[in-house]
Amino acid sequence: MTDQNPVFIPGPTNIPARLLSAMNMQTVDHRAPDFVKLLAPVLEDLKKVFKTKTGTVITFPASGTGGWEAAITNTLSPGDKVLVARYGMFSHRWIDMCQRHNLDVEIIECEWGSGAPADRFEERLAADTNHEIKAVLVTHNETATGVVSDIGAVRQAMDASDHPAMLYVDCVSSLASTDFRMDEWGVDLAVSGSQKGFMLATGMAIVGVSQKALKATETATCTRCFFDFADMGGANAKGGFPYTPPVQLINGLRESLDMLLDEGLENVFARHHRIAEGVRAAVSAWGFELCAKSPDLYSDTVSAIYVPEGFDSDVLTNHAYDAYGVSFGIGLGEMAGRAFRFGHLGSLTDVMALSGLSTIEMAMADLNYPITLGSGVAAAQDYYRASRGLALAKAA
Ligand SMILES: *Cc1c(COP(=O)(O)O)cnc(C)c1O
């Protein structure tokens, strides 16, 4: 299998050559002064990506799921009540993890394809006059359905009900790709990882922690050891880790932060939006539907796309891989067999996106889907030309 084709799975994402080189480094002594010099500015620059000045950033050698476990176990105690809405596979996994940690999980069931229900949170929080609910857990970008939720609206709902619960946000597939404002939205724990917007290999959980969340660690009694914030924070303050740090990944993260901050975060977000709009133009040219129920919910990092009645999306993604060597995301959970996912986050250009669209069109044509070969590609081409001002220049 060639490694020249990009992947269109919504993480891990394509790794730019510059980051591959940065991770390709010889062992250095993590107790030597060089490592101290590397780590502190990385943690500092991560705050810019979370958009926090008052919070702090803690990382662990883990995938994003480890970040969730760290967020929960450091700040909650067994039996604590947490409020979660389930609207996709990732919010579902949060629920499962909380239950396994013996938290008292109250679930608001939502249709898949919808987003975080700020109004229902507000209703529930307002009724909780004894303040039994300790935490509200929200998945910012539900990678299973391609839905982005309005975290600012959730914060407003919490404020409107004057409720002191902490706000936990899974931003694994949104941070460093779409706008995230930890301080402005009053997020207490923001969980991410290295392998999506940061365009690195999997292996670092990256967690933004508010002062309120840090305070909560003093009384939280969930068992934790490897993921202990106090151990990690204490070691970080001295320039190290409580155990062996993943130095190659941290070196990669240094380079990734340089790339993101050089491009400018707002430009990074605009690029993701533009590329996503082109993909959505293709979806609508095919006459297909997105899982996301309305345009305000459309994710700029992943599109979950329903296949027509009578077709199996797993057959499509398998065929695209077997015939053309290109990976797309499969349908997860309720979407299994019904939708495929086109990941458009991380290191991506218009040209790469067009190659993905043209590949999935070939795969669909092979399987007798009711589409015209080139129709989605043409719609995306039109959008990309126009959004760069080039189509207009030619018409003038
Ligand atoms: C990828 C992802 C995760 C974390 O998954 P890991 O495989 O543990 O890194 C969590 N939440 C969302 C929304 C994701 O997209």
170 Cβ below 6 A of ligand 1? yes
Q: Is the pTM of this model over 0.85?
A: yes
- In 3D, which of 50, 114, 126, 45 has the Cα closest to residue 86? 114
DSSP assignments along 152-168, one per residue: HHHHHHHHHTT---EEE
359 Cβ below 6 A of ligand 1? no
143 Cβ below 6 A of ligand 1? yes
CA torsion through residues 137, 142, 145, 148, sign: positive
User: What is the model's pLDDT at position 396?
Assistant: 54
Q: Range(s) for CATH 3.40.640.10 in the chain?
A: 25-246
- In 3D, which of 268, 246, 247 has the Cα closest to residue 257? 268
Q: Range(s) for CATH 3.90.1150.10 in the chain?
A: 2-11+264-386
Q: For the domain covering 2-11+264-386, report its CATH number.
A: 3.90.1150.10
Cα 180 from Cα 204, distance rounded (Å): 19
Burial readout 85-111 (b: 16 or more C-beta within 10 A, e: otherwise): bbbbbbbbbbbebbeebebebbebebe
User: Closest ligand 1 atom, CA of 67?
Assistant: 8
User: What is the model's pLDDT at position 393?
Assistant: 63
Q: For the domain covering 25-246, report its CATH number.
A: 3.40.640.10
User: What is the model's pLDDT at position 342?
Assistant: 98
> Where do the H-state alpha helices sit in the chain?
17-23, 33-50, 64-75, 89-100, 118-127, 151-160, 211-216, 229-237, 247-263, 265-286, 313-324, 350-366, 375-387, 390-395
User: Closest ligand 1 atom, CA of 173?
Assistant: 15
SS3 224: coil
Please check whether residue 53 is in contact with residue 273, taking contact to mean a CB–CB distance below 8 angstroms. Answer: no
pLDDT values of the chain reduced to their tens digit, one per residue, 396 residues: 678 999 999 999 999 999 999 999 999 999 988 898 999 999 999 999 999 999 999 999 999 999 999 999 999 999 999 999 999 999 999 999 999 999 999 999 999 999 999 999 999 999 999 999 999 999 999 999 999 999 999 999 999 999 999 999 999 999 999 999 999 999 999 999 999 999 999 999 999 999 999 999 999 999 999 999 999 999 999 999 999 999 999 999 999 999 999 999 999 999 999 999 999 999 999 999 999 999 999 999 999 999 999 999 999 999 999 999 999 999 999 999 999 999 999 999 999 999 999 999 999 999 999 999 999 999 999 999 999 887 666 555
149 Cβ below 6 A of ligand 1? no
Which of 170, 195, 204, when mutated, tests ligand 1's pocket best, judged by the most ligand atoms within 8 Å of its CB?
170
User: What is the model's pLDDT at position 395?
Assistant: 56
197 Cβ below 6 A of ligand 1? no
